């Protein structure tokens, strides 16, 4: 059994922060065996920072540097320093819209998790729900995965399907995807923290049912 007080999470986000809020609530309710020690954003004034402040969770904007799609190396170092100072062991990306590279990933090896609004490897990148609608798929969904240096790549931990309706707009489809995200992320994260998601050769980590000892 994992002691909830022992695992400290750092959450990174660039936007509204609804996934952060769902995780924070799940931690508070004891459904995720951890607590959120720090929230960081590359976007000044992002909703996620306000939501963190409203919950009394330390939060900070750290400028990303001069690149558009990733953090500058010195910015990565600043993120790592802030997370380490807060005692963070696992990093949870919740709508963080920049790619993380070596400096960051080496600081938290195998301990950076992301949620993406599609069934990867379909529709990586931005506004995946729009990509899904434009392509005409009948089913899309949500993926939780460990983060490597690629864009929305890395071993898949959990996925859930979301049917696309005839009358869906980007907004209605994204809303249904987000509702699924808010339950899948706490569940998948808990499986990782409790050691129930483990590496299976060639297939990435799979969620094992039953005890972690088998
Ligand atoms: C979520 O739908 C998340 O899956 C997506 O950004 C949204 C953030 O919403 N992430 C990505 O597209 C990452 N490639 P939130 O700020 O309300 O949690």
- Give me the mean pLDDT over the 29-52 stretch: 97
> What are the helix and strand counts (H, E) for the chain?
6, 9
The answer to whether residues 159 and 207 touch, using CB atoms and an 8 Å cutoff, is: no
Task: Indicate the pairing of strand 156-163 with strand 139-146.
Answer: antiparallel
From 46, 94, 113, 121, the mutation candidate for ligand 1 (largest count of ligand atoms within 8 A of CB) is 94
pTM for the whole structure: 0.92
Q: pLDDT tens digits for 47-79?
A: 999 999 999 999 999 999 999 999 999 999 999
Compute, in angstroms, the gap from residue 94 CA to the centroid of ligand 1: 6
How does residue 113 score in pLDDT terms, banded at 50, 70 and 90? very high
pLDDT band at 6 (very low <50, low <70, confident <90, very high): confident
Residue 186 has phi, psi (to 5 degrees) of -60, -40
Instruction: Tell me, yes or no, if 116 is annotated catalytic.
Output: yes
- pLDDT score of 100: 96
Q: Whose CA is nearest to atom 17 of ligand 1?
A: 18
Q: Which of 30-34, 200-204, 208-212 has the lowest mean pLDDT?
A: 208-212
Confidence of residue 198 (pLDDT cuts 50, 70, 90): low
């Amino acid at each position: 059994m994992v002691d909830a007080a022992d695992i400290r999470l750092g959450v990174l986000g660039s936007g509204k922060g609804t996934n952060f809020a769902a995780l924070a609530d799940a931690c508070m309710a004891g459904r995720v065996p951890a607590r959120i020690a720090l929230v960081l954003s590359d976007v000044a004034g992002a909703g996620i920072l306000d939501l963190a402040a409203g919950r009394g969770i330390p939060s900070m904007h750290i400028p990303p540097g001069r690149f558009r799609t990733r953090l500058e190396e010195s910015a990565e170092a600043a993120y790592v320093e802030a997370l380490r100072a807060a005692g963070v062991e696992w990093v949870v990306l919740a709508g963080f819209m920049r790619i993380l590279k070596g400096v960051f990933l080496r600081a938290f090896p195998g301990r950076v998790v992301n949620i993406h609004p599609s069934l990867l490897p379909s529709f990586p990148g931005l506004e995946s729900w729009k990509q899904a609608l434009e392509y005409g798929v009948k089913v899309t969904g949500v993926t939780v995965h460990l983060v490597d240096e690629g864009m929305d790549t890395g071993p898949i931990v959990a996925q859930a399907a979301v049917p696309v309706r005839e009358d869906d707009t980007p907004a209605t489809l994204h809303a249904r995807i987000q509702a699924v995200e808010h339950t899948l992320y706490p569940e998948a994260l808990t499986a990782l923290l409790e050691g129930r998601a483990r590496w299976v050769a060639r297939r990435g980590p799979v969620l094992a049912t039953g005890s972690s000892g088998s």
